[in-house]
Amino acid sequence: MKDDDLESSRNIDLAAVALDYESFRKLASNPHLSVHERIGFPVQYRENFEQAIFQDICRKLPNLESRNKVIVDVGPGCANLPRMLIDLCERNGHRLVLVDSAEMLDQLPDRPHVHKVTGFFPRNVEEVRREADGPVDAILSYSVLQYLFSETNPFHVMDVMISLLADGGEIMLGDIPNASKRKRFFTSVAGIRFHREFTGRDDLPPLPAGVPLGLIDDSVLSGLIARAQGAGCDAYLVPQPANLPMANRRDDLLVRKP
């Protein structure tokens, strides 16, 4: 791997905030990019990891393995995770609603059980409700919250998602870059060693000073948990498995309506 590839990969958590809904529409239409690059990831951070990621998603959203449920995926992108979800939903008789830009959704297969809603969530929530045709049993939004955070009110996003849920319904806001967790890791002995082995340099990891402007941190995630709990749901911040590529600096937020 080249040094500039290493540098771009190492900084992806911080660079992510530069992308927004319109940027992803442009990436999705770029024929020179891989499917991973079209959703904002260097190839090495998704290639050969998607099966492990999907298995973790299924463990954390057990309604996916039930039968005849209503599933919503907010921001599925156009790589292989949504294709795995489409296949699983077909096997289990689920109704699947995919919410993303037309540029992303046009690259995913059309199936009788798949219902596509274009546009920016949560502004299109009423169309999502119509396509769901009833309460929703599981909402997945994987590696998307950081972009919603920069473009809209994340507490409103949480409110809207909870309003869609059936009793026993679940939400997974997955793969969230946590600036506080990242700082904790890269100031630890293990984090410094990881940085040096990854970059081949003997310096210390660069860390932003002060409040992480524009980035999700512990305070944002704690607030979202409190928001969900105040709405009558259980909510938890949980780690990713160690075999996922950014587990040392990302978290998953799970919500369940009793």
pLDDT for res 17: 42
Residue ranges in the chain assigned as alpha helix (H): 3-10, 12-15, 21-28, 35-38, 50-60, 81-92, 102-105, 125-132, 145-151, 154-164, 179-186, 189-199, 218-230
CA nearest 24: which of 114, 100, 123, 122?
A: 100
Residue type, 107: Q
Coil, strand or helix: which one is 64?
helix
pLDDT for res 171: 99
Would the pTM count as exceeding 0.85? yes
Please report whether residue 192 resides in a domain.
no
Enumerate the β-bridge partners of residue 170. 138, 256
| pLDDT tens figures, 92-103 | 999 999 999 999
pLDDT for res 36: 85
Please report whether residue 187 resides in a domain.
no
Please report whether residue 188 resides in a domain.
no
The token pair at 101 is: 């830009």
Provide the domain count of the chain: 1
Contact between 217 and 201 (Cβ < 8 Å): no
Domain range for residue 243? 3-176+213-256
CATH classification at residue 63: 3.40.50.150
Please report whether residue 13 resides in a domain.
yes
Please report whether residue 195 resides in a domain.
no
Please report whether residue 196 resides in a domain.
no
- Mean pLDDT by 10-residue block, N- to C-terminus, for the chain (258 residues)? 34 52 83 83 81 97 98 96 98 98 96 98 98 98 95 97 98 96 93 89 84 88 98 98 93 98
| pLDDT tens figures, 191-244 | 999 889 888 999 998 887 776 778 999 999 999 999 999 999 999 999 999 999
CA nearest 170: which of 70, 91, 247, 76?
A: 70
Using the structure block, give the residue that is written with the tokens 């809209």: 152
CA nearest 69: which of 137, 161, 163?
A: 137
Please report whether residue 21 resides in a domain.
yes
Please report whether residue 198 resides in a domain.
no
